[in-house]
Amino acid sequence: MDATRSIGPAERLLGIDWSGIFGHDGWAVYDKFTAATHQQCFAHLLRRCESLIQSGTGGALAFPRGVKDLLLAGFEYRNRFRSDEMTAHGMKVMAGRLTMKMWKLVRHPKKHAANERFAKFLENHLDDLFTFLHRPGADATNWRGEQAIRPAVVNRKVWGGNRTEAGALAQSRIMSVMQTCKQRLADPFDFIRRQLTTTSPLALPLPIAAR
């Protein structure tokens, strides 16, 4: 639990030099993790396309429709890979082609102001659009991350004890332990009980795959 949505909490959690795969919604703060490999969330990008299509008219529709087509093509190549119809190398080749097509689509100024803002965002993040094709283990959306924090978001609202710094800290620690245990198929209450009754700190249970 933190009072602000700034780079501070993320930096304390991950370290500014964290070099993993970072799937996110395009919030500018995340760009400061320069050592990480980024993946812009396709769900957010597609919603932005749909919003521009719904609000646009005439020639202003061509750009968001073109972006949407390229994003959906990325999904199609990923699905072909999962069906053994395409190799990992083939996906990388198609990622390069899609990136080039996207660059050609965004590089010219747009008359529609909202299209121009979206084009600038895409141009600044061209290398972050099709990471999931270069890295088959990466997700195209941050859906799993959002689902993972949803219980904490709900509990934060009904907890009743996080209006003080001590209460917020207690909640963040307890919810972190409980969610980690859940993801590792361990009993969180048993772990917390043993943690509170032992004289030495306990490590959280290993993931099932590592046991």
Same domain, 112 and 160: no
At 25, the pLDDT band (50, 70, 90 cuts) reads confident
Phi/psi class of residue 36: alpha, beta or left (left: φ > 0; alpha: ψ in -120 to 50)? beta
Q: Which of 105, 134, 163 is the last residue of a domain?
A: 134
pLDDT given at position 73: 98
The one-letter amino acid at 135: R
Same domain, 16 and 39: yes
pLDDT of 167 higher than 70:
yes
112-129 pLDDT per residue, tens: 999 999 999 999 999 999
The one-letter amino acid at 171: Q
14-28, 39-53, 145-159, 169-183: lowest mean pLDDT where?
Answer: 145-159
pLDDT given at position 207: 63
Where in the sequence is the domain holding 59, given as residue range(s)?
7-134
Task: Give SS3 for 54.
Answer: helix
Percent of the chain with pLDDT over 90: 49
Q: Which of 75, 99, 134 is the last residue of a domain?
A: 134
- Separation between Cα atoms, residue 184 and residue 148, nearest integer Å: 13
CATH number of domain containing 17: 1.20.140
28-63 pLDDT per residue, tens: 888 899 999 999 999 999 999 999 999 999 999 999
pLDDT given at position 211: 44
In a domain, 89, yes or no: yes
DSSP state of 208: G
Same domain, 127 and 151: no
